[in-house]
Structure 1
């Protein structure tokens, strides 16, 4: 009779990939890891919901704080580049100012003042086509913007477009400025007056002076100045009235 020997091999011990402990024979998962992993799931439903809400709220505040910090940093960068552009523009370096203002706009793309300064720098660099594009974009958003209308008026005047020059200047005269200033309004009318005189439009030029006189009824200096301009242009009767009006206001004890 033949006897077969039985091959008795010791089973290989398996270890948990997470904790490294041996896994008993007959089961597929580590009992320790399964117990710990399911402990959270054994908590009451109300506790689980509360924990999730707390995590979400904390995450919301953390994200909000990080976002505010990032925007504050962006604003600081924008202001820094804008200040650099202002200095470049004052130093007669328009190309450097253009780059600085463009960089500022990368961090604050909707800033109207930054766009206006960029347009002014482009004008200084004789890049009027680009400047007009920025100015018209600003004008469409803020048609009552005084500085924007003045820049458009200057461009139109340089191109010999009298109608547009007067239209934009009128908008600037009655437009919105950061600080209301009657002297500025008078200065704008004088710019229009000089432009019209240079173009030979004497009747329109005189009308601007008359409008300026009407807007400064109790300003002696303005009336004297208007009288001097009228005198230079040969309007002697109007000039005399202007000077007389200015003298009368100056001698009025109330003023």
Structure 2
């Protein structure tokens, strides 16, 4: 089944790319694209045994579930949810293959649901509730199934950057040119306030703060601190996942040695 991974990924990305171009999160828009691409035919590759059908369904659901989780943007995650729901309903395996979801990702799913409720995207909430009602999710310890002596350095194709969440927006908005301009405006404003006050009240108290001091340096420091926090959080999560995986492989190796 590994030979068709690239094709499945390319098809999913093309569907989500068309959905992204609509700038919508409505299910009816997604369904229209789904039907136009005849995407349900992905489960009709020819004659398959029941075992092959289950294996193929598992592969497709695993590939699609990636788009339902960070670091993808909200719209792409909505498209990923709709894609999972549609694939789950259209699969040819019987009983239906479940969608693998790691417990560590459940907090992201609940936050996604909260954002959808607050934005009143009720079709998003409904589809998620339907998957929960159908018991479509298989909650697991790890995102992918671990197996002893499996090749660990699996080649991963890069994801479309246009699908990603813009987590670096503060750094992009607050650049050097903007800080210089703000500093100049701040200085002019300070002089204007000082001159105005001196005309109205020559004996004004020099301790009075007419403007917020060090505004530009504080803004720059805040953006830098945010960037450092982002990198630290990302690094810690990667280290935790690496530690859990290494322990899981060690335990699997010990079991095989005992046997």
State whether TM-score is above 0.5: no
Determine which structure has greater relative contact order: mean sequence separation of CA pairs < 8 Å that are 6+ residues apart, divided by chain length.
Answer: 2
TM-score interval (norm. to shorter): under 0.3
After TM superposition, the score normalised by the length of structure 1 is 0.24
